[in-house]
Amino acid sequence: MKTLVIGATGYVGSRIAQEFRSHGHETYGLARSQKSKEVLSAAGVIPVEGDLAELAKLAATVDDFDVLVFAATVPFEDEKDVIQELLTAFTRPGRSLVFISGSGVVSTAARDGAWNDYTAAEDDPFPFPALRNRKIRITTERLLTDAASEGLRTFIIRPPLIWGRAGSIQIPQFFESARKTGTVCYLGQGLNLYSHVHVDDVATVSYLAFEKGTPGAVYHLVAGEVNFRAIAEAVGEVTGCPTRSLDYDQAVELWGAPWVDLGLAVNSRIRSPRTRTELGWTPAHVDVIEDIRHGSYKDAYDTAKAHGEVQGYSWAAHG
């Protein structure tokens, strides 16, 4: 079976590509540069030339595949247009499209870093004011759900904070605060949180959804919960820096409003009953704090420091 992963050079997409390869799929990855082609080839993934900025060409490309996985990181507004174009080109009975969304669609605001007790299962109501990313991305998700009624096997995967292999959106930002300020910073009380899941578990669920999921369904995946202050304290142990609370304006000055509003000044707590019941999934990795203190994050930090290469992170570094 031929599978194309869009975002196959990124943090999440690269693990998904390997998961599909491990199950015998002829796995391809979209590449827009020679460097991307080389990275994919080295990983055993067949590069396919293409660019999300050239949708007409991309639409022609996807018609050659049985399975399409969308794991690219693009602005939410652009993502909706890309998915609409892909659906127009790819929708055929029996084909499969796996879309990596995120638990941000059920996030609630927490500019003071306070915790709240709302947790969302896959089909729970959302009785709160919608944040910007929900307003846009929930529309994209509905496009995929509607496509299932036309015979396309669509599956929406909503991971929360993704960690492991020294990556993530959120965790590197804590290391970056230590590099910039000499302190590991968190917002307000630091008691707010995203549920979390390991990147390899995201790859596992992506394949399980394709293999035995219900077309049109949403699948949450969660391995546990740790608040942002606890993450900051763990990063502080690794870097040897104290922790410090910032108010919202200070956090925006340090990290920028887009990242703070989407990734830090919220609670994003989910449950995954459908994923565990329908797909038979249980997380293989559960301890993000241990991975920071003594695992992949500490190893990466120590290696970079030893070589004088402790670099700044950015929102785009997630890939």
Domains along the chain? Answer: 2-161+196-220 (3.40.50.720), 164-195+224-268+285-309 (3.90.25)
Label residue 230 left, alpha or beta by phi (over 0 means left) and psi (-120 to 50 means alpha): alpha
Q: Which of 283, 266, 271 is nearest to 191 (CA)?
A: 266
Degrees to nearest 5, angle at CA 196 with 193 and 200: 160
Q: 57 is written with which tokens?
A: 């060409």
Is a pLDDT exceeding 50 seen at residue 101?
yes
**Averaged confidence pLDDT in the chain:** 95
- Neighbouring C-beta atoms of residue 34, cutoff 10 Å: 10
Residue 13: pLDDT band (50, 70, 90) is very high
Taking the C-alpha atoms of residue 292 and residue 309, their distance in angstroms, rounded to an integer, is 19
The values of phi and psi at residue 246, to 5°, are -115, 145
Taking the C-alpha atoms of residue 175 and residue 256, their distance in angstroms, rounded to an integer, is 15
Q: What is the pLDDT of residues 163-215, one digit of tens each?
A: 999 999 999 999 999 999 999 999 999 999 999 999 999 999 999 999 999 99
Q: What is the pLDDT of residues 46-93, one digit of tens each?
A: 999 999 999 889 989 999 999 999 999 998 889 999 999 999 999 999
Taking the C-alpha atoms of residue 133 and residue 261, their distance in angstroms, rounded to an integer, is 10
pLDDT above 90: percentage of residues in the chain? 89
Q: Which of 112, 61, 126, 155 is nearest to 269 (CA)?
A: 126
pLDDT score at 174: 96
pLDDT score at 316: 45
Q: How many residues does the chain have?
A: 319
pLDDT score at 309: 75
pLDDT score at 312: 63
Q: In Å, what is the CA distance from 224 to each residue of 109, 123, 195, 196, 198?
A: 20, 19, 6, 6, 10
Q: What is the pLDDT of residues 227-257, one digit of tens each?
A: 999 999 999 999 999 999 999 999 999 999 9
